[in-house]
Structure 1
């Protein structure tokens, strides 16, 4: 299944920064039950590869599981070997996109400028993550959408919540990366489920 199909099922990307392996399955179960099927474990979380491995084993058939804050080739390999199928970077790294695509992964690298975006597109990326999105707001995404290929999904990440989501959608966002608006370290699964329902409701509004 390609990125368009995953985003079509639900355009929210859950960023579980700080999650621990012993809690990640319960948190992800709450997300999947709420309809969110793209889950990212940032590599600056505790033992993130163990979390990716657990999620891939349990939810790999129902959700797109992977890692974010990926900065090195060896990290791409570790995520893939753990069963992760999604690569997210905080920066424009065409070489990581090529490495991930060679491993059959879905890529959502970070970018901030048109030059970075086109370099990533030329490397074969599936989607682009506008980060930090709050630096320019929806107006920046709208301007970028006017020049970037329409078939490449743009996802704002940073400051996206239920209140700001409609403005991002109007600006042309194809998906939304949600961190603290979905999960903060220590959140119980019930708390995550409530946040997820609020964001899913905002999508339907």
Structure 2
């Protein structure tokens, strides 16, 4: 293994990644603006949202001083190249595809590859990635990370899938490097929902991930 990658600074410090999966990239800005104002500092824009690559450079520039912009649902080496060329700060995958991981290492961009079994997670962690994504996290729960830490005591993990406010607190208490949150935070914001309510939900997640949320 070469020198291990690190998570982008704002992502590591905030311990919260918000996954944005919508119908079109044109809807990103007001939603991200609201969450940035509430204190969110890291966003994973998924490639299942049409127009994400085209929107990426402008979003990276818009939030250059406030937030890390990552690209998610990366599944092949070509996605790595397009995201890196567009200025993404990090990448997230749903699967343990070693060719994709190796391309990210070659391009010197932080990657958080997904996996669920110990074999899947170790196969990418051993490559020197910044962290691994436990997915779908809602199927296993925070105790799973404690079990993984037995054979892999230095494993840096980011649970994703089914993480709500209460389970975010539990995953972080179990030692997660960060949590990846989508629907429980976003609600209906990408479909015209009330942005004030989105901001309040975001503030609650930010507080929990900063360690200041109420027990």
Question: Considering the TM-score relative to the shorter chain, is it more than 0.5?
Answer: yes
* Alignment correspondent of 1:80: 84
Give the direction of change, closer, same or farther, for the CA distance of 1:46–1:192 in structure 2 (3 Å limit): farther
1:1-205 equivalences in 2 (<5 Å):
2-3=6-7, 5-18=9-22, 20-150=24-154, 152-184=155-187, 185-186=190-191, 187-203=193-209, 204-205=212-213
SS at match of 2:163: coil
Q: Deviations over 1:91-135 (max 9, x none)?
A: 111221221122221111101111112210222210111000011
Asked if the contact 1:156/1:173 (under 8 Å) is kept, the reply is: yes
Task: Find the aligned partners of 2:175 and 2:138 in 1 and give their Cα distance.
Answer: 15
Q: Give me the TM-score of the superposition, normalised by structure 1.
A: 0.90
Asked if the contact 2:111/2:130 (under 8 Å) is kept, the reply is: yes
Shift of 1:149: 4.1
Task: Find the aligned partners of 2:119 and 2:34 in 1 and give their Cα distance.
Answer: 38
Query: Aligned-residue CA RMSD in angstroms?
Result: 2.0
Give the direction of change, closer, same or farther, for the CA distance of 1:7–1:84 in structure 2 (3 Å limit): closer
Task: Find the aligned partners of 2:7 and 2:208 in 1 and give their Cα distance.
Answer: 21
For this pair of structures, how many residues does the alignment match? 204
Asked if the contact 1:73/1:96 (under 8 Å) is kept, the reply is: yes
Asked if the contact 1:19/1:41 (under 8 Å) is kept, the reply is: no
Gaps of 5+ in 1: none
Task: Find the aligned partners of 2:70 and 2:23 in 1 and give their Cα distance.
Answer: 13
Shift of 1:147: 2.1
SS at match of 2:111: strand
Asked if the contact 2:163/2:181 (under 8 Å) is kept, the reply is: yes
Q: Deviations over 1:39-65 (max 9, x none)?
A: 111100121112322211211343221
Q: Give me the TM-score of the superposition, normalised by structure 2.
A: 0.86
